[in-house]
């Protein structure tokens, strides 16, 4: 399935982004990755790292000219990852979807649903994904690469 088919299904809509919008999202990623290292609960560290990873997936969609509709917004944003970066990233989308479920549990249902290892693993994943997203931006959409 393609992103255009997702538009046809009503799951995405067209979106015109800008370098400023991408830069702001990357600043959120940087803030979240920095904050996730702080002395806070593993649940919050995990949630903050999840937010960073979700923003990176959002950058991919925005750069391609799309944004998700409100229904299942996080799920669709994550599932677009292999559609944009390649089928070899399907496992990454599955991992992030598992993280999405865990994050919902610790945010809405109960405390202690993740471990320190879970949080550390997601933080490292988000850091690596950031490098990949920036490299992809430089190759596919250099007009959106933040000016440093």
**CA 3 to chain CA centroid, nearest Å:** 16
pLDDT tens, 12-63? Answer: 999 999 999 999 999 999 999 999 887 899 999 999 999 999 999 999 999 9
Are 93 and 125 in contact, with CB atoms under 8 Å apart? Answer: no
Q: What is 17-143's CATH number, 2.30.30, 3.40.50, 1.20.120, 3.30.70?
A: 1.20.120
| Cα–Cα dist 143/25, whole Å | 15
Q: What local confidence, expressed as pLDDT, does residue 39 receive?
A: 86
Four-point Cα dihedral 27, 21, 146, 120, nearest 10: 30
pLDDT tens, 91-109? Answer: 999 999 999 999 999 988 8
Whole-prediction pTM = 0.92
Range 5-11 average pLDDT: 94
Q: What local confidence, expressed as pLDDT, does residue 147 receive?
A: 81
Residue 140 neighbours by CB under 8 Å, 6+ apart: 63
Which residue ranges make up each domain of the chain?
Answer: 17-143
- Across the chain, mean pLDDT equals 95
Q: What local confidence, expressed as pLDDT, does residue 141 receive?
A: 97
């Amino acid at each position: 399935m393609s992103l255009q088919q997702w538009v046809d299904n009503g799951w995405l809509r067209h979106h015109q982004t800008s370098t400023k919008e991408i830069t702001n999202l990357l600043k959120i990623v940087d803030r979240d990755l920095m904050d996730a290292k702080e002395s806070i609960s593993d649940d919050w560290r995990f949630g903050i790292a999840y937010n960073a990873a979700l923003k990176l997936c959002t950058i991919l969609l925005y750069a391609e000219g799309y944004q998700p509709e409100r229904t299942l917004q996080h799920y669709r944003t994550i599932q677009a990852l292999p559609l944009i970066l390649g089928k070899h990233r399907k496992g990454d989308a599955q991992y992030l979807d598992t993280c999405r479920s865990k994050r919902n549990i610790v945010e809405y249902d109960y405390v202690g649903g993740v471990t320190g290892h879970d949080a550390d693993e997601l933080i490292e994943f988000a850091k690596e994904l950031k490098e990949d997203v920036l490299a992809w931006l430089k190759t596919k959409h250099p007009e959106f690469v933040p000016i440093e």
